Amino acid sequence: MLSTCLCFLEAVLSRRLLRLALASSLLALPATTFASSDWFASVYSPKGVEIRADERLFTLFATLNALGYDDAPIARKDPLPRYEFSPVRTEVRQALATLDPKLKAQVNAFFDAHPLPLAKYAAYAAQLGPAPDFTAPASAQPAELHGFEKQLAAVYRAANVQALFAAVQDAYRADTKSYIAAIDGPLFQARKLLHDPAGRTIIAVNDLDGRGAAEAVPLGADALLVLGPASKPDVQGAVRAYARLVLDPLVAKRASALKGAAEQAAVVRGSGGPALDGAADYASELLARAIAIQVASQNPTADEDAALKQGFAGIKEAVHAVAELGKPDRPLEQVVPDVLARIELHKR
C-alpha cells in the first residue's frame, strides 16, 4: 500500500513539474511569439527562424487584392485569363468585393502619390504597430510612406479584416508549422555561403499573393521573407529571397562581370519568367537561384532544367560556382565578381 501511494505521489509531482517547466519555457520565448491571438500564427524553428502569419501584411495584401492585384500563375490564358488563386485568396477577394468604392479611390490616390515598389510597402507595413490602428513609429521606413497606416486602418475597419484573418487561421497555421522542420538546414547553409550576415530571419507566409511569390525586405539588421502560398514549404523560394537581399547591393556595381546578362534578362521576361530589369537584376537572380538549388534542392538536375526553360542560361555553371562564395579568406564583395566572371551564358 505504501509503495502504491509513493508511486502515485511521484506521478502527481512529475506532472506538476512538467507543467511548471512548460510554463517557464513559454515565458522565456520572445514576446513576438504571442503577438497574435493564435499562438501558431507565430512559431520558431529549432534554430530560431521566426515563421508567422502577420496581420499587418495580411491587411496590406487584402487591400491590394480589393484594388485588383492579381499577380498569380495563369491557369487559363484563352479566351479569358483565369488566375490561379489560393483558396484563402479567393475567399478574401470575394469578401472584399463590396468594399466602399470611395475608400478604394482614397487608397488608390495614396498609391498614385506614392508610386513605390510593393516591397517598400511590405517593409513599411511590417514596421507598424498592431491592428486596428497600425500606429507608425517615427523611425518607420521609407519615410515617404508615413500616413499609409491610416489607409490600412480604414480598410481594416471597413472590411472587418479582423474577422477575415480569424477565419483563415487554420490555413495559415498549417503553413507556418510546415516550415519548422524544413527551413533550418538550407538557410544555415545559405548563410554560410553568404558569410553569415548578422540579424534574424523572419518568414511571413502570405496566402494573398501568387504561388511561388517570394520577396525579401530588410527590417534593420533582420531579413523579412514574404512567401506566397505553396503546396509544401517553399524552402528554395525562401533561400532565393534571402540571397537576393544580401547579393543585390554587391552585384549592382559588378554585373558587368557576367557577359550577356542584360540580353539574357530580356530572354527570361519573354519566356514568362520573372520580370528582370537589366544585367544586375539577372546576375543577382541567377546567383540566388544557384544558391537555392545548391542548398535546398531535392532534385538539382530537374531544377536546373526548369531554370534553363525559363531562360536562366548559365544556371548549371552557377550552381557549381557559388560554392566559392563561402570561402572565408576573402570578403564576399571581392568573390562575387570572380564567380560571375566564371559563368558563361552562351557556350559555343
pLDDT digits (tens, 9 = 90+) for 181-194: 999 999 999 999 99
Phi/psi of residue 329, nearest 5 degrees: -80, -10
Q: Which pLDDT does position 22 carry in this prediction? A: 34
DSSP readout, 292-347? HHHHH-S-HHHHHHHHHHTT-TTHHHHHHHGGGGG-TTS-HHHHHHHHHHT--SS-
Grid cell digits, residue 16: 506538476
3-class DSSP assignment, residue 141: coil
Grid cell digits, residue 18: 512538467
Q: Which pLDDT does position 125 carry in this prediction? A: 97
- Choice among 11-15, 46-50, 282-286, 327-331 with the minimum mean pLDDT: 11-15
3-class DSSP assignment, residue 58: helix
Mean pLDDT across 155-162: 97
Q: Is 66 in contact with 159 (CB distance < 8 Å)?
A: yes
Grid cell digits, residue 36: 497574435
Q: What gap in Å lies between CA 191 and CA 198, rounded to an integer?
A: 9
Among candidate residues 131, 125, 122, the one with its CA nearest the CA of residue 164: 131
pLDDT, tens only, 102-124: 999 999 999 999 999 999 999 99
Rg (the chain; Cα; Å): 23
DSSP letter (8 states) at residue 163: H
Place of cell 533582420: 222
- Choice among 83-87, 112-116, 325-329 with the minimum mean pLDDT: 325-329
More reliable by pLDDT, 158 or 75: 158
CB atoms within 10 A of CB 86: 22
Residue 334 has pLDDT above 50, yes or no: yes
Among candidate residues 28, 51, 22, 23, the one with its CA nearest the CA of residue 173: 51
Buried b (16+ CB within 10 A) or exposed e, 118-154: bebbbbbbbbbeebeebebeeebeeeebeebbebbbb
Mean pLDDT across 67-77: 92
3-class DSSP assignment, residue 191: helix
3-class DSSP assignment, residue 26: helix
Grid cell digits, residue 198: 548578422
Residue 15 has pLDDT above 50, yes or no: no
Q: Which pLDDT does position 16 carry in this prediction? A: 40
Residue 13 has pLDDT above 70, yes or no: no
Grid cell digits, residue 76: 487559363
Grid cell digits, residue 121: 510597402
Q: What gap in Å lies between CA 310 and CA 268, rounded to an integer?
A: 6
Residue 149 has pLDDT above 80, yes or no: yes
